[in-house]
Amino acid sequence: MKKVLLITVLMYVFAVGFSQSEFPYSKILRMSQDELKENKFKYDTDKNQYVLKKRDGWQSTANVLSALGGTTADIRPHVDDYEIILQYGDEGVSSLTVIFYNDNTYHELMTFAVDRCENFLETDSNTKRKAQFNYDGFAFELNMEILGITSTTGRTNSAIVKTQDESYNIYTYSIFTGIEPNSKWLQQEAKKQQQRDDKGKKKRTAADLM
């Protein structure tokens, strides 16, 4: 029964169609913690997150190292791999982030953003593209980054025999509810940052003395 329920949810998650009152991944945003557990989300106590990962396409560390060292192992993630992260705050869900590698899913989300959302803003560089927009009271981000990795398939005494490009696109889709995130990990990071800031204030530069 649980397997059937999980398959049903994931089919919905990656479907493009949604009603007027819904948007991509909104159903997961509304799930109770019991429903998340039933659908194989794992709770991280330290980070106050529920996480679901599918990484069947990732190669092992050994394969990655061998590819970089000169063999032909494919170190790119599978097109259907993904990771879903629900970040909580004191008052409920703070954000939902989906990390994926499917070009078609990215184009479908971008179409939703351009056709149906407000305050659409896009910036890009050679390897990164970022879109920000609003819909139904929520703030969204849709990011694309090209991760470039090259490996060699062999060498001679004088030259590389063949260079293999293992570059791939990684996409990140985030929904922000307006609730402040909170966790033990975030509190520890904030404390570390404050300590770094305090140390930095003690270092006076020539510009500070002007």
- 70 pLDDT more than 90: no
Q: Per-residue pLDDT for 115 more than 90?
A: yes
72 pLDDT exceeds 70? no
pLDDT tens digits, residue range 6-19?
444 444 444 433 44
Ramachandran category for residue 86: left, alpha or beta (phi over 0 → left; psi -120 to 50 → alpha): beta
Q: How confident is the model at residue 163 (pLDDT cuts 50, 70, 90)?
A: low
Cα separation, 183 vs 86, in Å, equals 12
Domain range annotation of the chain? 2-199
Q: What is the pLDDT of residue 32?
A: 94
pLDDT for 99 equals 96
Percent of the chain predicted with pLDDT > 70: 68
Residue 143 in this model has a pLDDT that exceeds 80: yes
Strands 92-100 and 82-89: antiparallel
Residues 6+ apart with CB under 8 A from 151: 67, 68, 69, 70, 71, 72, 73, 75, 163, 164, 166
What local confidence, expressed as pLDDT, does residue 175 receive? 98
Q: Go through 44-56 and write b for each residue having 16 or more CB atoms within 10 A of its CB, e for each that does not.
A: eeebbbbbbeeee
What would the pLDDT profile of 10-44 be if each residue is shown by its tens digit? 444 444 334 445 899 999 999 999 999 999 999 99
Residue 100 pLDDT exceeds 70: yes
The C-alpha atoms of residue 63 and residue 90 are separated, in whole angstroms, by 42
Predicted confidence at residue 81, as pLDDT, reads: 93
Cα–Cα distance, 17 to 36 (Å, whole number): 22
pLDDT at residue number 195: 87
Q: Please tell me the predicted confidence (pLDDT) of residue 112.
A: 97
Q: How many beta carbons lie within 10 A of that of residue 83, not counting itself?
A: 15
Mean pLDDT of 120-140: 95
